[in-house]
A and B are shown apart, each in its own frame.
Chain A
Amino acid sequence: DAGVTQSPTHLIKTRGQQVTLRCSPKSGHDTVSWYQQALGQGPQFIFQYYEEEERQRGNFPDRFSGHQFPNYSSELNVNALLLGDSALYLCASSLGDRWNYGYTFGSGTRLTVV
């Protein structure tokens, strides 16, 4: 049973560029949530996708956008990258509203903006 998979593992981008991160949820899960974790901080909620729609969103600018595909996989896009966007980006999957049982996280994508 595959867990949550994220790609790529590491990424280096230049300020102003755009980046796309990818996530495949755990088998049987249909909801994907994205988090940003800066060094020394806890994960910060970016947004959540369910049935191919953004269901809720955290306090992140519109430069952060996402998409969910019919197979429940998801992408996180960040435009006009800033140095402050350097962080570990985590994808978590859950089944519908049953995230109350706890998220399963992927191994993350480490983004470095230079």
Chain B
Amino acid sequence: QKEVEQNSGPLSVPEGAIASLNCTYSDRGSQSFFWYRQYSGKSPELIMSIYSNGDKEDGRFTAQLNKASQYVSLLIRDSQPSDSATYLCAVNCWTNFGNEKLTFGTGTRLTIIP
């Protein structure tokens, strides 16, 4: 089982609609969860972080965390063409040596259709 799993997509959403991106993780000890946006050919950009169960809102973005289900999601409201990118879920995972490392999923490619 992969440490962090995402649907690779592509996910197509009409402009103005809600885009929903999902991520599951395997390490029950994980405490920190992040969503990064990556435009083609560019480096990842942090857009949301969440540490507690529930919802966290920032503008058009809402991150949702359910530690019992080991599930984290990102909702993008009023989707814009500029939201078209790959979205990476990242989770802190414990290594065999007792250290933490930030582990990324493979990313979901999102396309907003005008």
A55-B88 Cα distance, complex, nearest whole Å: 24
B69 at the interface (CB under 8 A from A): no
- Quick one: closest A residue to B103, CB to CB? A45
Contacts A56-B95, A100-B32 given; does A43 touch B46 at CB 8 Å: no
- Taking CB atoms, residues of chain B closer than 8 Å to A24 are none
8 A Cβ contacts from A88-114 to B: 88, 90, 99-108
- Is A48 a contact partner of B101 (Cβ separation < 8 A)? yes
Residues of A contacting B8 in the complex (Cβ-Cβ under 8 angstroms): 40
By a CB distance below 8 angstroms, the chain A residues around B32 are 100
The count of chain A contact residues (Cβ–Cβ below 8 Å) is 24
Q: Is A42 an interface residue (CB 8 A)?
A: yes
Query: A71 at interface (Cβ–Cβ under 8 A)?
Result: no
Contact residues in B for A90 (Cβ distance below 8 Å): 43-44
A42→B89 CA distance, assembly (Å): 9
> Which residues from chain A contact B55 at a C-beta distance below 8 Å?
none
- Which chain A positions have C-beta within 8 A of B24? none
Q: Which residues of A contact B104 (CB under 8 A)?
A: 35, 42-44
A74 at the interface (CB under 8 A from B): no
From A41, A101, A106, contact of B43 by CB (8 A): A106
Contact A105 B105 (CB under 8 A): no
Known A40-B8, A99-B102, A108-B42; 11 more pairs at CB < 8 Å: A42-B104, A43-B44, A45-B103, A55-B99, A56-B95, A90-B44, A100-B92, A103-B46, A105-B44, A105-B45, A107-B43
